[in-house]
């Protein structure tokens, strides 16, 4: 008789757990007066877990809506400020006026970039943006990231050289991985001297494909390498350069969300190499 009761209790616990995993568990389905003390505790635990799951889902939805509202409400005013500052620069308003208009334009563009980066980061962290890795050719995302970085590279007369096998593949989200590689490229260009070179290559290993971005910039002190992927972190020797300190943080979030990782090799005065590892399958 006791064996039968034990088996019945285990079956009920198993059913409760299955319903909890499916998200269909409801407390009213069970009559506590007919359950053992263990069953009652198990029921209370699952009920609390289900309430917690629903609360997290509601909070996530609330964050998503807030981020969407911020994006929508700031887009038009910022675009207008940038447009008006461009128009001011075209007017004959004297040297000081031209200088101020140019400064407004630059700061507006910086603010626009920062808001967009924060929105992307928020959506990644809250899970409202889904990254869907699938088999893609590595050369396509490298070319896309180079196209985004070309204008800034040309302004500093920096050569972007790509050496990627057109048949090399890996498993990654094309759009988001392009964003991650562009942020690293942008960082390399920003901290490299005029007339230098940035090279992008790729190599397949047993489990991962590695994209390697090598620059001839100022380099990163050994003690700073673990810190550079922190949100808003700026290196001690680059405070004179424009930047927000969020690009590399966003790149790491994107890569790690795809079960990949980033390795950095650098020495002061000798440039840096960022290696982005993405799963082959």
Phi, psi of 237 (to 5 degrees): -100, 10
pLDDT of 200 higher than 90: yes
Query: What does the pLDDT read at residue 23?
Result: 61
Domains contained in the chain, number: 2
Q: Which of 56-70, 100-114, 128-142, 221-235 has the highest mean pLDDT?
A: 128-142
Calculate mean pLDDT across residues 165-191: 92
* Best CA proximity match to 251, nearest among 242, 261, 241, 238: 261
Chain centre distance of CA 71: 17
Can you give the CATH number for the domain in which 160 is found? 3.30.565.10
pLDDT band of 79, cuts 50, 70, 90: confident
Greatest CA separation for the chain? 98
pLDDT of 34 higher than 50: no
Element (H, E) at 7: helix 2-22
pLDDT of 145 higher than 90: yes
- Does residue 189 sit in the same domain as residue 103? no
- Does residue 121 sit in the same domain as residue 139? no
Q: Which of these ranges, 35-49, 146-160, 161-175, has the smallest mean pLDDT?
A: 35-49
- Does residue 161 sit in the same domain as residue 268? yes
- Does residue 151 sit in the same domain as residue 91? no
The rounded distance, in Å, linking the Cα atoms of 21 and 26 is 12
Strand-pairing partners, residue 213, are: 200, 274
- Does residue 113 sit in the same domain as residue 159? no
- Does residue 14 sit in the same domain as residue 123? yes
Single out the residue in 73, 106, 129 at which a domain terminates: 129
pLDDT band of 33, cuts 50, 70, 90: very low
- Does residue 44 sit in the same domain as residue 172? no
- Does residue 142 sit in the same domain as residue 265? yes
Single out the residue in 129, 151, 180 at which a domain terminates: 129
- Does residue 64 sit in the same domain as residue 194? no
- Does residue 106 sit in the same domain as residue 51? yes
- Does residue 208 sit in the same domain as residue 123? no
Domain that holds residue 96: 1-129
Single out the residue in 98, 129, 160 at which a domain terminates: 129
Is residue 210 within 8 Å of 195, Cβ to Cβ?
Answer: no
Can you give the CATH number for the domain in which 37 is found? 1.10.287
- Does residue 153 sit in the same domain as residue 255? yes
Rounded to the nearest 10 degrees, the angle between the axes of helix 94-126 and helix 37-90 is 160
Q: Which of 71-75, 125-129, 150-154 has the highest mean pLDDT?
A: 150-154
Mean pLDDT, the chain, whole residue set: 79
Structure confidence by residue, pLDDT tens digits, 213-267: 999 988 888 888 888 888 766 665 555 556 566 788 889 989 998 999 999 999 8
């Amino acid at each position: 008789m006791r064996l039968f009761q034990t088996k019945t209790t285990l079956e009920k616990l198993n059913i409760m757990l299955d319903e909890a995993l499916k998200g269909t568990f409801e407390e009213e389905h069970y009559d506590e007066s007919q359950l053992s003390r263990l069953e009652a505790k198990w029921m209370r635990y699952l009920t609390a877990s289900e309430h917690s799951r629903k609360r997290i889902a509601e909070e996530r939805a609330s964050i998503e809506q807030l981020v969407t509202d911020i994006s929508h409400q700031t887009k038009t005013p910022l675009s207008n400020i940038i447009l008006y500052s461009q128009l001011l620069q075209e007017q004959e308003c004297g040297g000081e006026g031209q200088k101020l208009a140019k400064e407004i334009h630059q700061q507006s563009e910086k603010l626009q970039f920062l808001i967009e980066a924060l929105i992307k980061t928020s959506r990644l962290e809250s899970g409202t943006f889904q990254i869907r890795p699938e088999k893609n050719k590595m050369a396509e995302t490298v070319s896309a990231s180079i196209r985004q970085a070309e204008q800034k590279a040309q302004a500093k007369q920096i050569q972007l050289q790509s050496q990627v096998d057109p048949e090399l593949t890996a498993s990654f989200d094309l759009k988001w991985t392009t964003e991650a590689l562009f942020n690293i490229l942008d960082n390399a260009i920003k901290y490299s001297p005029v007339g230098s070179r940035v090279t992008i290559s790729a190599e397949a290993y047993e489990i991962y494909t590695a994209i390697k971005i090598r620059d001839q910039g100022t380099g990163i002190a050994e003690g700073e390498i673990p810190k550079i992927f922190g949100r808003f972190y700026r290196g001690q020797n680059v405070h004179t350069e424009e930047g927000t300190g969020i690009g590399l943080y966003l790149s790491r979030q994107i890569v790690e969300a795809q079960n990949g990782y980033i390795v950095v090799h650098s020495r002061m005065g000798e440039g840096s190499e960022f290696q982005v590892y993405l799963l082959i399958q």
